Structures are given as structure tokens and as C-alpha cells.
Amino acid sequence: MLFGDGRGYNRPLQTPLLFPAFPSVVLTLTMRRILLLALVILFWPIATGRAQEERRSSSKTTADIEFFEKRIRPVLVAHCYECHAAGADDVGGNLRLDSRTGWLEGGDLGPAVVPEKPGQSLLIDALEYGSLEMPPDRKLPEHIIADFRRWVASGAPDPRTQPRPDPKPDSATAARPLWSLQPLASVTPPELENPNWIDADWPLSPIDRFVIARLEDAGLESNPVADSVALLRRLSVDLVGLPPRPAHLERMLRDDSLESWERIVDELIDSPQFGERWARHWLDVARYAESAGSSRDVLMTTAWKYRNYVIDAYNADMSYAQFVTEQIAGDLMPADSPEERRRQQIATGFLAVGQKSLNGGNLPLDIADDQIDVLGKSVLGLTVSCARCHDHKFDPIPTQDYYSLAGIFLSTETRYGGGTKRPKNTSDMAKEYLPLADDQLLIEFAKLDKRISQAQQKRGKSAKQVQALKRKLPKDWQQRSAELNEKSDATEETVLSADDQSLLEQVSKFREASASMQQLDSELVELREKQSELGSLEFAVGVRESKTASDAKVRVRGEKNQLGEIAPRGFLTCIPIDQQQVLEAAQLPPIDDRQSGRLQLAAWLTATDNPLTARVAVNRIWFHLTGRGLVPTIDNFGVNGTAPTHPELLDYLAQRFMQNDWSTKRLVRDIVLSRTYRLSTDHNEHSFQIDPAGQLYWRGQRRRLEAEVLHDALLMAGDELLLRRPDFGSTVAQIGEGEVGRNLNTKPLDEVFPYRGVYLPIIRGLLPESLRLFDYPDPSNPRSQRDATNVPAQSLFFMNSPLVIRQAEQAASALFAEGGDRQERIQAAFRRILSRPAAKPEVQRIAAFLDHSLEPTAQPNHHRLQAAWTSVCQSLFATAEFRVQP
Amino acid sequence: MNLQTALPKQREPKVTATASSGDRWSGFNRRQLLQAATCGIGSLALADLLRSAQARETGILDPRASHHRPRAKHLIFCHMRGGPSHMETFERKPELDRRAGQKGRSKSRTLTGSHWKWRQRGESGLWVSELLPHLARQADELCVLSGMHTDISNHTPAMLHLHTGNFVFSRPSLGAWILYGLGTENQNLPGFISLCPPSINGGAANYGNAFLPAKYQGTAIGNVKINVRDAEIGNIRNPRLDLPQQRRQLDLIQALNRQAAQLDPQDAHIEGVIKSYELAFRMQSDLPKVMDLTDETQATLDSYGIGEGKRSDSFGRQCLLARRMIEAGVRHVEVCDEFWDQHNKLKSGHEARAAATDQPMGALIADLKQRGLLDETLVLWGGEFGRTPDTNKANLDGRDHNAKGYTMFLAGGGVRGGFQHGATDELGYEAVQGRVHLHDLHATLLHILGLDHTRLTYQYAGREFRLTDVHGRVVNEVLS
């Protein structure tokens, strides 16, 4: 129970390398302590001697390995790996040089290196162009060959004890069980006895105990806790995506006790801005947008309802299991009220907001592919869609499994608008979008629709008939028939000629037909009135069941016409849980031809023994709070992802998450109240040398503000930001139906948008500048982790954009309105824009700048003052600091 | 010592990547990576460190070493949207002329002959139709690809395919891949510029970065509906301050930044921002300077067909701008014409397109050559597909979409001039000889620029992506 690898984990490959001198790493802390104590007592003198010796030899090893890393490895990579490493098309002479084992075992010609014996090493012989000539294109320079000789002579130290994974199936890697598919381990936080860690004012959380245990193992020094002003900015940005409220800043400056901190945390978590911030993280991975993108960028004017759904779900702290279920199968869930039904239908927008190729491509299969892709990356952290054309190259996902899932989505009807003809009325909308209404109303509506279309058909026929009859009549028929009628009325026994007789017959036929056409017209009017009396239907994007449900056939090599075997609908076979049991537990029938299987899919995803769902979810939350995932590849828990740095912590958090009813808010709270979250970002040379990337959380990670946070911070400092939700839904709804580049009414896009960045319109082909310039992710590809690039276009935005200048002007006006002298105003400007007081040298700089700007007038007019302060405010916006979270 | 060579194979375009100033933003730089590698932690996912370093790198687009010796350093793509007819431009079809008026491949369609006369041009004797007299004069520079074929014959997906190698999913554009692979030579200008692109037909995706970092996205100037003369570049001018005033403000910004940098010398983000402001400040004056044609001689303007009221004015300006940008070190420029999509009235339609583009194109090639730039610049001409040899129009004046066979041409850096590679069948329906698929074209363009299309990869969502996906063959036959 206490052995780290007793949980069935495949430990990260590199662990033994990390601590070559400490095999005890696989023991838990307690176990290790007991052992250590016993050893210390028994072998005290020997142990100290051994330790010194180990220290010496390890420092020697370090120097050797450094030599290898600097002089040998790069040469191997540059000149040898092409043919002698994993991934080479054809490994030359079966010799691999990408691991110690590789050259030690050697290839067809035997070992390539004999440690300490350059003269007997084939590798040296080949480099010297002896019996072999390597690299084949040209001999390497003499000094490099000398390095190799020296390296072999010194025993050929090589830390690459594990071969690089061979990126081909059937390799050793594929055979090894994937860590992320193993069941969650039940773990308890390690006990720490070192008094240095214990702080009476701020008890360590279980999270900290996991983290500190790793720090101790690695010999890292943990940073102190950051100063409270910086911390408040970090916390505020993390929880609500906004710079701190002035009231919080004041409170923090007065009282930075645990209680005060906790109160602020709770206030932020309970504020409606929490959902706006956390929804955005999910919307990234849900590849949310409001247009089809790609070939015909048709707007989805109701997609924003899904965005609001996500925000509401985070604010309500909806259980993540329910959140996932609603997004996949909300339309199939029982609902207690029409409101709940509406919400659950909107939730399925998750499956509908992806990019569509409306002109060309293979639409139904591509939509299913997009759905499998987003589901895989967001919920499971697997790149399932790689298996569309062939078995997954790295992960244990056969094509058969892909089409098992595809069958579910192909039995589902996706409604996303996307009509290239702009829908004009309710009936048109009903053809493109998902109607949101209770079934009875929909049935009534559909019944009337059917009757209307029948009546329309009849009227069409009747109109043709009338036309045809009219054509047969002579031009003067009205006059003649009137005369004839008169005649026959006047004299009772008039004998009409055959000609006249037939004319009258024709006329009467024509009149009858006309009357019935009029009858149909009024019927149509009546039906339309009835339909409008039902009320207007509301629409969204989302899914519903297809008329028929069936299994899909495998498409061989992904070709739509190359049909292979039938893949019965189901789930991924690589996840070792009993699908039957999952369905029984959820009281769901097996998938059959009456249902797509989405409910069953959701039950399988959110089963507590599904090892991926909770792990992926907590890792993502951890990542958004610390800047680094426990599994650094946030959306990829597959073979090509990276194993967790803290597997026990990951499983602890996942278990706790599920125990707390999958509550995001409670997990966020747990993490931000830990000491680990509060560490300063300061540099520590000792720890930096060991762990420069801060993978083991010895320090906080400075992070770039996301585009939306930057947008909001800018508008907030300019007093322009409205914290309420736009009541028009989205600018896209204001624009209305249409397509980018084809007479789209883009005027609403140019208007001032005073709402939070999360509400900005996301038209795939027309992203707002403030998002596009600042690493907003391509909304067609699901992704949790944003880039942080630095390009002149961003600088130009801060220097010249009308948006920034307007905020600077407004901020300057507000500073004047607040009153105070110049010193006070400078301080106020720093608090307003950078959420901190100004330091003395900064005050001096600003003052000097103001003096210079206002010269030579001693009594500058208001206009010049305003201009100078606008420049000051804009300069603060433009600082590097404004764009980061400390 | 060059640690970059220790990068995983697929990352090689980063050979001399931005590490010069280090990237402490994501927590480490080259030296630290090396230490990570030697001191233990490192092996714990060194590859991952590198990967995230590259994905999150903050540096500017410094030029980078190519995979092999490049034949050209710049690419100009003259995009003839809509699909010019190969039978009216560079592929002479006497058999089609002979059988004009007969039934085409289906009963409802009739073969229609070329609407222009043909002549052999230059020393090479390349056949060029009289539709393009100016380009004909450059015949000895042209490397005509007459075996082109692609997968789809709708404009938009075909255009996305042409620009991104994929028409179903969102993928980085050719230009973004090139910037990712090579960086750019002049930091004061964007590295990849698309002049007057359309907002339909895939719009921004045609110069987008998709999952590549945003710094590789193309900069659009103007749009297809306006004359490039009237194009505005976003945020390039300050509406409030003159240049000295702005410089003073920038000095304040930089002073504040440097103060912060002193407090935390480990923070490369600040370094990056400081550098980026200086570049931006220079870009403010350099980009408008490049865009300003007043320092060109009247003779040059005339040669490009630039002049008020001339049909070639806008495209002529685009071509001249392309030359100026290349000269200033921009890596890739795309210029864009209106629609060559004449299902009807092909004769007058193609004539109008030629009137707009032929002279500027001819002048561009001549001008590049005269300035010694043609050797290092690759010019690509063509549309997203070609046109059919037959029509369903009674007056035989029209042609429809044809993805199975069409013509593009290359000129300049590293390609054989006065050379025609490949051909369609005797009537022009489909490529039968020297077939070049779009993926092959992409592979070849990258090859000429010094990049190996199989090695120019980017890790996204657990796998390596490339412009050519799993396809593409370098068309060695066209290399000089």
C-alpha cells in the first residue's frame, strides 16, 4: 500500500534518472523515514562515509554528463540520429545511438562503443573514416572526433538509459500500459515532520504536503509566499479575470491574515465574474465560435446561448459530471421544468459550435469527426480523432473504436444554422436551428407546418389548373358567357349551340377552380395565423436524435466510400471499465436502434471509475491556477503527452473532486488556499539550477494575461467596462443572419463594446483585434493552453489603437475628477492601472515626464494637462507589467 | 556549442531560433535547458520543455537557418482567383481547336477552342497565347507547370486547399509555415503580407496561423474590393501625438520597463516587450515608407501599368509593392486579383483580367531581374484550379471549373526558365504528364526556400503536423 508503484502506475520513464542515487524515491515518505531511521541507527558511521563518497562521485558524474550533453549528444542528434535513432525510416545497421543501451548492445556489427577503450570502439573507427565511414556525407572535424575519443576514454557516461520511444506502433511503448488509463489510486497526503514547513498562522494543506515531499526529494528550496499586493492581483485575475477591486486592495493592505484572504477568496468565487472567467477556459477547449468558419463563414446567430450556458454552469457550480452529460446528451435528460429543458438543450451547443466546411468536404462525417475530436481532447485528454483513417499511431485507439463513437454522432442530428440562404422567418429558422420548446408545442408547430405545406402544394396545383382552364377560354369569354347567361335567363327554352354549351361548361369549371383556389388562400392565411398564435419559437445551436439510429461502418483509410466492417456503437476499449456495469449503474438500456447512445456515452465518460475524466478536469483547473499542469500536456494524456510530475497529487485531487460532487469551486478554493499557490515568483539560484522550469512548484509562475483579461483590465481602468451581460446576447445576433464577405452588416462590429471580453463576438473569419493580436487560440482547434507571443503588432496596439487611447483619456479624466495633488494622482494612476502603489523612482520618472510635457507654461491649461496625463496613463497600459500576472 | 541541434528532429526549423536572448518567460533559456538536461530534472520530459518553450516563445521573428541551402529567400504569390484557363494562357491545344464545336465528354457539353492565337516566345520557344503579351516577353524566365491537379473544384475549398493544404480543417497557411521555418529578414516589417485578400473564400484562414503561434499569421493590407492605394494599416499611426512626442512617451514606457527589468533580471518577457516597442516604433515609419510609391520613377510606374484610370492600376501597385517589400526583406508577399471565373463571356472576362494583370506581372519579373532580385525571389502565378475545355453555353464563350488539370507558373529563384513541365491530355481535361498535385507544389515551394516539407513540422494535439500532411513530392524536374 505504501509503494509508489504499487498502484499500477507506470512511473514516468525518467524518474530513475532524476534521482539515480536515491532508489528510495519509489517509497512513500513515511516508509522512507522509517527505513532511513533504521539505517541511520544501524549503520551510522558507514552511512555517513557512503554519503560523502556518493556526493563526490555524483559531482564527477555531473561534470561528465555535462560534457556528454555539451559535446556529444548534439553531434549525435545532428549527424547520426537521422539513421540511428527511433523514428528513422530504416535504422542503419540496426544500430541505435539514441540510448546507452543502443550503442552498448550495438547493431549488426556488434557494440559501437567499448567504454574506456576508444581504440576498440567501432564508433571512433567510423568517425575516423577507418573500416567504416560515418557520417557518410563527410568526415566530422578533428576536434569533434577528439571529443568522442575523450568521452569514450572517460567511460562513455550517457544518461540516456531509456531508449527514446519509438514512434511506431508495436514498439515497446505501445506495449507498456499507458499511465493515464490505470485506475485512480487512493492516496493520502504524506506526513511532513520538518518543522521548517509548519507555520502556525497558515497551516499546510494536503496539496502542499504532496508538493513539499517532492521538493524535499529533489533538494529544492521553496520560495517564500509572495507579497500580498502581488498575490491579490494573481488571485483576482485567476478567479474572476479582472484586476483586484480597490476595496480588496485596501483590505489586503490593512489585513493579510488567513481569514482576510479566505474572505476575499470566497467573495470572488461567489461573484458572477467567476463564471465569466472560468467559462472562457472551457470555451477555449470547446472550440467555441459563432460562425461556421472555413469555406463559407456563415454566422450562427444563436450560438451565444451556449456561451451563456457555460458561464451560468460555472457560476452555479454545476457538478462537472452533469456539465459533461448535459453538453453531450442534455436533450435526452429528464427535466423538471421548461427552463431546465431549455438549458439542457442549449448545453448540446457544445457539439454544434465547431468549424464546418459548408462548401466541399464530407459534411456528416466531418461533423462527427469534430465532435469526437472535441470530446476526446476536452473530456478524455485523448486525440481520438487521429484514429479516423488508421489505428491511432501512438495511443491504444483502434479505428474500430473511432467508428463506434462515430456511429453515436452519425445517429445524432446537429443543428447549427449555417444555411447559406439567410433564414428569414420562423419556418426557415426551424429548418436550420434547434428549436427550443416543449415537445407538445413543437408537435403543434410541426403539424401546422405540415398542413401549411400541404395547403401550399394544393394551392400550387390549383393555380396551375386555373391557369390552364383560363388559357383554353376565348379572349371574349366574359362578355360571351354573360350574354349567354342573360339569354338563358330571359327565355327558358333557348337552345344553345354546342359551341356555346361547351363555353359555358368551361366557364363554370374555371369559376369553380378559382373559387377553390381562393378557399385554399384563406385556409393558408388561417393556418399561418394559428401558427403565429402558438407563439414564436426560440432557437439555439445544438443536437437532437436523428430519425434513425444505427451503427456506422468503418471507413477504410478514412475514405468515405471505402466501407469496412460495422462498428457497433460503443466507447473506447482502451479504458478498462466494464461498459455493461456503467450502463446498469446509470439505469440505462444498451444502445439500440431507437437511440443514438449519447446518454450512454455520457454515463461512461462520467463513471467514477473512468480514470481519465476527473484527472483531465482537475489537471486543467490546476493548470489555470498555477500556469503549469501536473500533466504538462493539458489536452493530451496519451503516449505522446507527458506523464505527471506529481501522480499522487493528481489522483488525490481527482478523487477529492469526485467526492465533492465534481465541484469546480471547491477545488479552486482548495488550490488557492494552499501555500503552493501563494509562492512568490522570485528567483532562487539553488533551486533554479536544479529545476529551471519550476516543474516541481518551488516558485510561483509569472503568467501573461490572456487577451480577454487584458481587454477587461484596459476597459476597467478607463471606467468603460460594464460588468453586466449584454442584453442583446451577442453582436453576432445584432448583425443577424449572413455570411462573412457577402454583404454582411458589419457595422455593429465597429461600435464601442463596453462588455467583458468573454462576450466579444467570435466570428471565425473576423476575430476582434484585441483578441487576435494577443494569442487568442484558433477557435477551430480545441486547446487549453494559449501561446504567449510578443510581436510588434501588439506594441502598435498599445501605442496607437483608438481603443487604448480612449481608455487612457478616460482614465486621465477620472484621475482629475478624483482630485488630489500630483503625487497623489500618480499614486492613483498606478493603483488604477497596475493595482499597486508607485515606487519612488517611478514617481520621479512620471513627474519628470509631466514637467517636460507641460513646459514652458507654468500654468498649463486644462487641455494640455489632460493630454499629458493621457500620455502617462497610456504609458502605464503599455508597460510589460500591465500584461502579466505576478 | 549548439544545443539547438539537440532538439527533437521534427523541431529543426528552430535551428537558430530565438534563443539569443533566452526565453525566461516560459522559465528557462538554452543554458538552463542544458543544465536541466545535465542536472537531473531535465530528463524528466526534456522534450516537453523544449516543446513548450517553442510553443510559448516570446522572441521576435529572427531569421533562421534553413534545412538546406535555399534557392530563393522570398516568395511572391500572384493569386489569380477564380481559375484562369490553361487553354487560353500557357497550354496550346491544337486538337481542341480542331474539334471545337464537337461534343465534349458529356452530351450536353460542347468543346470550345482557344479564344486567342498562340506564338512561340523567347529563345526557349515557349508557347504563350496572345492574351498575355507582357508575360510572353518574359517567357524565358517562366517555368510553366501544366500538369497541375487538385482535389476539389469549388472556389472556396480549393482556395483553402491552395493556401493551407487542407480544405476541411483549420490549418496554418503556407506563409505561416514559411515564417515558422525561416523567420524574416527585416524585423521592422511584417514577415508575411497579403495584399488585398478577399474576405470570402476562406478569408483570413488563407493567411492565418491556425494552431501555430500567432506571430506567424500574415498581415493583411487592404482587401480585394479596394485599390491598394486606399488601404489602411491598423494602428500604424498615432492619432494624437507627433513622432517626437510619441518618442518621448515611448522613452517613458521603456524607462518604466527597464526599471522593472532591473528588479527581476530573470524576466525575459520584459526584454521582449522592450525590443518589440522599438521594432514597432520603426515599423511605424518603415511600413508607410515601403507603401509609399512616390519615390519610384515615372518610368517604373508606367512599366507596371500604374496610373489613374488604368485597368492595371491596382494590381500594378500591388506588384510594385511586392517588389518593394521583398527588397526590404519581407519573406512572403501575396498579391491578389479579382475573379477569373468566366463560365460565361470568357473572352471579355479573361481579356479584362489580363488587362489588369498581364503588364504588372511582366513588369514585376523584369524589374526583379533588373535589380538582381529574381535569383533570390520565387514568383508563383496561378489560381485555385483551371477551366474545362468544354462548355454548356450555346455561344461556346465560357468554361467551367476544372480541378483535374490546370496550369500555374513559377519564375525566378532556382527554377528552370523557358521550361514547360507536364501537360494535360490533348483536349485539356486532365493532367496526364508531369502531374503535380497541390501538395507537390507546396513541397517544391518549401524545398526551393530551403525547407524540407517532411521536416517542417509542428506539434499540436499530440502529433506532428505539416503543410503537406502525409503527401507531397518535390518536383525536382523544375529545379535549375
Kindly report which listed range (A191-205, A862-876, B157-171) carries the lowest average pLDDT score. Answer: A191-205
* Model pLDDT for residues B51-78, shown as the tens digit of each residue: 334 433 445 677 888 899 999 999 999 9
Question: What is the model's pLDDT at position B88?
Answer: 97
Q: Are residues A121 and A191 in the same domain?
A: no
Q: How far is CA A161 from CA A16, A19, A20, A83, A218, in A?
A: 9, 13, 11, 19, 20
Q: Are residues A153 and A67 in the same domain?
A: yes
Question: What is the model's pLDDT at position B41?
Answer: 37
Q: Look at the block and give the residue holding cell 506563409.
A: B175
Distance CA B384, CA B162 (A): 6
Q: Which of B170, B200, B202 sits opposite A781 (nearest CB)?
A: B170
Q: pLDDT band at A25, cuts 50/70/90?
A: very low
Residue A53 clears pLDDT 50, i.e. is over it: no
Q: What is the average pLDDT across B428-435? A: 96
Q: Are residues A111 and A213 in the same domain?
A: no
Enter the ipTM: 0.73
Q: Is residue A511 part of a domain?
A: yes
Q: Is residue A96 part of a domain?
A: yes
Q: Which of A781, A789, A790 sits opposite B210 (nearest CB)?
A: A781
Nearest to B2 by CA among A78, A62, A141, A63: A78
Gyration radius of chain A over CA positions: 36
Q: Look at the block and give the residue holding cell 476562406.
A: B202
Contact A792 B283 (CB under 8 A): yes
Q: Between A429 and A810, name the one with better pLDDT.
A: A810
Q: How far is CA A836 from CA A204, A881, B267, B327, B472, in A?
A: 28, 11, 19, 47, 55
Question: What is the model's pLDDT at position A150?
Answer: 86
List, as ranges, residues 204-263 from B with C-beta within 8 Å of A.
Answer: 204-205, 208-211, 213-215, 217, 219, 234-241, 245-246, 248-250, 252-253, 255-257, 259-261
Answer for the pair B28, B49: CB distance below 8 angstroms, yes or no: yes
Contact A295 B236 (CB under 8 A): no
Residue A184 clears pLDDT 60, i.e. is over it: yes
Q: pLDDT band at A441, cuts 50/70/90?
A: confident
Q: Are residues A152 and A187 in the same domain?
A: no
Q: Are residues A17 and A116 in the same domain?
A: yes
Question: What is the model's pLDDT at position A72?
Answer: 86
Residue B408 clears pLDDT 80, i.e. is over it: yes
Q: Are residues A188 and A79 in the same domain?
A: no
User: Whole-model pTM?
Assistant: 0.74
Answer for the pair B208, B173: CB distance below 8 angstroms, yes or no: yes
Q: Is residue A790 part of a domain?
A: no
Residue A451 clears pLDDT 60, i.e. is over it: yes
Residues of B in contact with A694 (CB under 8 A): 27
Which cell numbers in the block locate residue B264? Answer: 527581476
Contact A14 B44 (CB under 8 A): yes
Kindly report which listed range (A52-61, A662-671, B8-17) carries the lowest average pLDDT score. Answer: B8-17
Answer for the pair A314, A379: CB distance below 8 angstroms, yes or no: no
Q: Which of the 8 DSSP states describes residue B411?
A: E
Q: pLDDT band at A195, cuts 50/70/90?
A: low
Q: pLDDT band at A159, cuts 50/70/90?
A: confident
Which cell numbers in the block locate residue B203? Answer: 478569408
Q: Which of the 8 DSSP states describes residue A226?
A: P
Question: What is the model's pLDDT at position A449?
Answer: 80
Domain end among A117, A148, A176: A176
Rounded percentage of chain A residues whose pLDDT exceeds 70: 88
Distance CA A574, CA A782 (A): 22
| Cβ count within 10 A of residue B130 | 14
Parallel/antiparallel/unpaired status of strands B423-424 and B401-402: unpaired
* Model pLDDT for residues B246-302, shown as the tens digit of each residue: 999 999 999 999 998 887 766 778 888 888 899 899 999 899 999 999 999 999 999
Residue A221 clears pLDDT 60, i.e. is over it: yes
Q: Look at the block and give the residue holding cell 525536382.
A: B476
Q: Are residues A25 and A132 in the same domain?
A: yes
What class, spelled out in words, does domain B74-232+297-478 have in CATH? alpha beta
Contact B239 A800 (CB under 8 A): yes
Domain end among A701, A716, A744: A701
Q: Which contacts (CB < 8 Å, 24+ apart) does range B299-302 have?
A: B300/B367
Q: Is residue A60 part of a domain?
A: yes
Answer for the pair A796, A733: CB distance below 8 angstroms, yes or no: no
Residues 6+ apart with CB under 8 A from B290: B189, B321, B324, B325, B328
DSSP secondary structure of A147-165 = HHHHHHHTT------SPPP
Residue A606 clears pLDDT 60, i.e. is over it: yes
Q: Is residue A569 part of a domain?
A: no
Question: What is the model's pLDDT at position A134?
Answer: 85
- Helix or strand or coil: residue B145? strand
Q: Look at the block and give the residue holding cell 528588479.
A: B263
Q: Are residues A527 and A627 in the same domain?
A: no
Q: pLDDT band at A103, cuts 50/70/90?
A: confident
Which cell numbers in the block locate residue B447? Answer: 524545398
Burial annotation B248-259 (CB, 10 A radius, 16+ → b, else e): ebbebbbbbbeb
Q: Are residues A493 and A632 in the same domain?
A: no
Q: How far is CA B446 from CA A220, A724, B74, B173, B454, in A?
A: 46, 50, 11, 12, 10
Residue B40 clears pLDDT 70, i.e. is over it: no
Q: Is residue A107 part of a domain?
A: yes
Residue A289 clears pLDDT 70, i.e. is over it: yes
Kindly report which listed range (A56-70, A146-160, A704-718, A748-762) carries the lowest average pLDDT score. Answer: A56-70
Domains of chain A: total:
4
Specify the DSSP element, H or E, that contains B221. Answer: strand B219-221
**Average per-residue pLDDT in chain B?**
86
Q: Are residues A53 and A124 in the same domain?
A: yes
Domain end among A536, A568, A594: A536
Burial class (CB in 10 A: 0-12, 13-18, 19+), A793: buried
**A740 reaches B (C-beta below 8 A):** yes
Question: What is the model's pLDDT at position A162?
Answer: 63
| Cβ count within 10 A of residue B19 | 20
Burial class (CB in 10 A: 0-12, 13-18, 19+), B417: buried
Nearest to B218 by CA among B56, B84, B334, B75: B334
* Model pLDDT for residues A483-538, shown as the tens digit of each residue: 877 777 766 666 778 888 888 888 888 889 899 999 999 999 998 888 888 777 88
Q: Between B318 and A793, name the one with better pLDDT.
A: B318
Contact A880 B156 (CB under 8 A): no
Which of B69, B242, B252 should we substitute to test contact with A (largest number of A Cβ atoms within 10 Å)?
A: B252
Q: Is residue A193 part of a domain?
A: yes
* Model pLDDT for residues A554-581, shown as the tens digit of each residue: 998 888 888 999 999 999 999 989 888 9
Minimal CA separation from A392 to chain B, in Å: 10
Minimal CA separation from A264 to chain B, in Å: 28
Residue A781 clears pLDDT 60, i.e. is over it: yes
Q: Between A572 and A171, name the one with better pLDDT.
A: A572
Contact B252 A846 (CB under 8 A): yes
B311: left (phi over 0), alpha (psi -120 to 50) or beta: alpha
Question: What is the model's pLDDT at position A193?
Answer: 67
Minimal CA separation from A177 to chain B, in Å: 18
- Residue A221 lies in domain: 179-225+611-701
Question: What is the model's pLDDT at position A141?
Answer: 81
Q: Are residues A157 and A31 in the same domain?
A: yes
Side chain identity at A91, as an amino acid letter?
V
* Model pLDDT for residues A663-695, shown as the tens digit of each residue: 999 999 999 999 999 999 988 889 988 888 889
On the question of a cis peptide bond just before residue A632, with omega within 30 degrees of 0, the verdict is no
Question: What is the model's pLDDT at position B28?
Answer: 37
Q: How far is CA A606 from CA A329, A568, A651, in A?
A: 12, 21, 16
Q: Are residues A92 and A137 in the same domain?
A: yes
Domain ranges of chain B: 3-56, 74-232+297-478
Question: What is the model's pLDDT at position A494?
Answer: 64
Where helices occur in B111-173 by DSSP H, the ranges are 133-136, 155-164
Question: What is the model's pLDDT at position B46?
Answer: 40
Residues of A in contact with B40 (CB under 8 A): 17-20, 218, 690
Answer for the pair A564, A556: CB distance below 8 angstroms, yes or no: yes
Minimal CA separation from A203 to chain B, in Å: 29
**A98 reaches B (C-beta below 8 A):** no
DSSP secondary structure of A161-199 = -SPPPPSSTTSHHHHSPPGGGSPPPP--PPP---GGG--
**Average per-residue pLDDT in chain A?**
85
Contact B266 A696 (CB under 8 A): no
Question: What is the model's pLDDT at position A197?
Answer: 65
List, as ranges, residues 52-71 from B with C-beta within 8 Å of A.
Answer: 52, 55-61
Distance CA A753, CA A452 (A): 42
Q: pLDDT band at A357, cuts 50/70/90?
A: confident
| Cβ count within 10 A of residue A454 | 12
Q: Which of B34, B168, B257 sits opposite A366 (nearest CB)?
A: B168
Q: Is residue A240 part of a domain?
A: no
**What percent of the residues of chain A are helix, what percent strand, and what percent coil, each to the nearest 5?**
55, 5, 40
Which cell numbers in the block locate residue A523? Answer: 385556409
Q: Which of A632, A692, A801 sits opposite B48 (nearest CB)?
A: A632
Minimal CA separation from A878 to chain B, in Å: 7
